[in-house]
Amino acid sequence: MYSLPKTAAILWCFSIVIVAREPRVIVNIAEPSVGELRHFWDSTGLCPPAPRSVVARFLLAEDERFNLALIGSLPHQSLSQVRIHWLLDLITVRYYYSASEVPALQPGMSAAVVSHFVRYVNIG
pLDDT at residue number 106 = 60
Tens of each residue's pLDDT in the chain, 124 residues: 445 454 444 444 444 444 445 667 777 778 777 777 777 778 888 887 778 778 778 888 898 889 888 888 888 778 888 877 776 766 778 877 776 766 666 666 555 555 455 555 555 5
pTM higher than 0.75 for the full model? no
Q: Give a yes or no: residue 124 inside a domain.
A: no
The range of the structural domain enclosing residue 45 comes to 6-32+41-119
* CA neighbor of 78 nearest in space, from 33, 27, 39: 39
Tell me how far CA of residue 30 lies from CA of 24, 26, 27, 51, in angstroms.
18, 12, 9, 46
Q: Give a yes or no: residue 104 inside a domain.
A: yes
DSSP 59-75: HTSHHHHHHHHHHHT-S
Q: Give a yes or no: residue 50 inside a domain.
A: yes
Q: Give a yes or no: residue 23 inside a domain.
A: yes
Q: Give a yes or no: residue 27 inside a domain.
A: yes
Q: Give a yes or no: residue 1 inside a domain.
A: no
Q: Give a yes or no: residue 99 inside a domain.
A: yes
pLDDT at residue number 47 = 80
Residues 118 and 112 sit within 8 Å (Cβ to Cβ)? yes
User: CA-CA distance, 84 to 70, in Å (whole number)?
Assistant: 17
pLDDT at residue number 23 = 65
Q: How far apart are the first and last CA of the chain?
A: 90
pLDDT at residue number 9 = 45
Q: Looking at the 3D structure of the chain, how many domains does it have?
A: 1
Q: Give a yes or no: residue 65 inside a domain.
A: yes
User: CA-CA distance, 84 to 71, in Å (whole number)?
Assistant: 14
Residue type, 69: A
